[in-house]
């Protein structure tokens, strides 16, 4: 939509300009349906997507994977599905939440979610290096590129290896660089001690025995409790 200079006493006859104004003025999308393949009704005067168009969208459901948005002008034909991006990348799940309003802008190729969103979800972490492979739910929150992890419980198992890892992190949470954080561990049935763990850029968490980062030795009862950690994702 181009800028227009108004002159007193002139009759305004540019229907195209007024149609652009209508598109801006009635930019709240209605009849929104779908979860990851979203359809919605837009302004009646809208004839095509244009760079800079912004729309208020109230999602019908919380998204779970990559997302597309297809707008149909009121009384017209669908303009075609376009990808929805957040922070310059395709959505991976949770960026759009049910009944939470969000603004999207068309950049000429896809829609971009405007503003900083808090994305929340869970994944299952699996412990390796023991006679069993216990799991625990890990809750994550993402704001821009900052990730916060919170373990919902503790790992308890019988050790059978010197290397202890936790796997299962989704790729969109992988850190930009190795992250170190505090935890508590117990080895060979002994007392719980303060230790540390790290998460590599491959998303695998390595657990160490004590603050010096020693390997675990022998077999016996193993206990691991992680503290909340925050880091920058890649």
Q: Which fold has domain 119-232?
A: Adenovirus Type 5 Fiber Protein (Receptor Binding Domain) (2.60.90)
> Residue 188: pLDDT band by 50, 70, 90 thresholds?
very low
Every domain of the chain with CATH number 2.60.90.20 lies at 119-232
For residues 135 and 124, give the distance between their C-alpha atoms in angstroms, rounded to a whole number. 6
The residue whose two tokens read 């002994």 is 190
More confident residue, 32 or 214: 32
- Residue-wise DSSP of 17-70: HHHHHHHHHT-B-EEEE-SSEEEEEE-TT--S--TT-EEEE--SS---S-EEEE
Largest CA distance in the chain: 92
Q: Supply 93's token pair.
A: 């799940």
| DSSP symbol at 28 | B
Burial class (CB in 10 A: 0-12, 13-18, 19+), 228: exposed
Q: In a 3-state reduction of DSSP, which class is residue 171?
A: helix
**What is the phi/psi pair of residue 167, to 5°?**
-115, 175
Q: What CA–CA distances, in Å, run from 132 to 76, 220, 234?
A: 59, 12, 31
175 DSSP β-pair partners: 233
Q: What CA–CA distances, in Å, run from 142 to 59, 68, 115, 136?
A: 19, 21, 13, 19
For residues 142 and 149, give the distance between their C-alpha atoms in angstroms, rounded to a whole number. 9
The per-residue pLDDT for 142 is: 84
More confident residue, 211 or 110: 110
pLDDT tens column, 14-43: 555 555 555 555 578 999 999 999 999 998
Q: Which of 222, 228, 226, 229 is nearest to 134 (CA)?
A: 222
For residues 138 and 155, give the distance between their C-alpha atoms in angstroms, rounded to a whole number. 12
For residues 82 and 66, give the distance between their C-alpha atoms in angstroms, rounded to a whole number. 11
The per-residue pLDDT for 217 is: 67
pLDDT of 86 > 90? The answer is no
The residue whose two tokens read 């999308």 is 29
Of 144-148, 191-195, 224-228, the poorest mean pLDDT is in 191-195
Of 32-41, 75-84, 122-131, 222-231, the poorest mean pLDDT is in 222-231
pLDDT tens column, 93-123: 778 888 989 999 999 999 999 876 667 788 9
């Amino acid at each position: 939509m181009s800028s227009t200079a108004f002159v007193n006493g002139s009759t305004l006859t540019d229907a195209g300009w007024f149609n652009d104004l209508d598109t801006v003025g009635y930019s709240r999308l209605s009849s929104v349906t779908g979860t990851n393949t979203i359809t919605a009704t837009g302004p009646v005067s809208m004839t095509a997507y244009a760079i800079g168009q912004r729309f208020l969208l109230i999602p019908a459901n919380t998204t779970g994977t990559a997302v597309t948005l297809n707008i149909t002008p009121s009384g017209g034909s669908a303009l075609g599905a376009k990808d929805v991006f957040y922070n310059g990348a395709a959505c991976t799940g949770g960026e759009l939440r049910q009944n939470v309003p969000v603004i999207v802008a068309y950049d000429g190729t896809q829609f971009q979610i405007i503003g900083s969103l808090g994305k929340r979800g869970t994944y299952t972490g699996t412990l390796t290096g023991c006679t069993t492979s216990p799991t625990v739910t890990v809750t994550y929150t993402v704001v821009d590129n900052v990730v916060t992890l919170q373990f919902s419980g503790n790992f308890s198992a019988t050790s059978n290896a010197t290397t202890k890892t936790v796997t299962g992190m989704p790729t969109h949470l992988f850190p930009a660089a190795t992250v170190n954080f505090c935890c508590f561990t117990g080895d060979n049935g002994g007392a719980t001690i303060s230790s540390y763990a790290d998460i590599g850029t491959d998303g695998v968490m390595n657990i160490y025995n004590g603050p010096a980062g020693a390997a675990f030795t022998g077999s016996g009862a193993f206990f691991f409790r992680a503290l909340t950690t925050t880091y920058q994702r890649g």
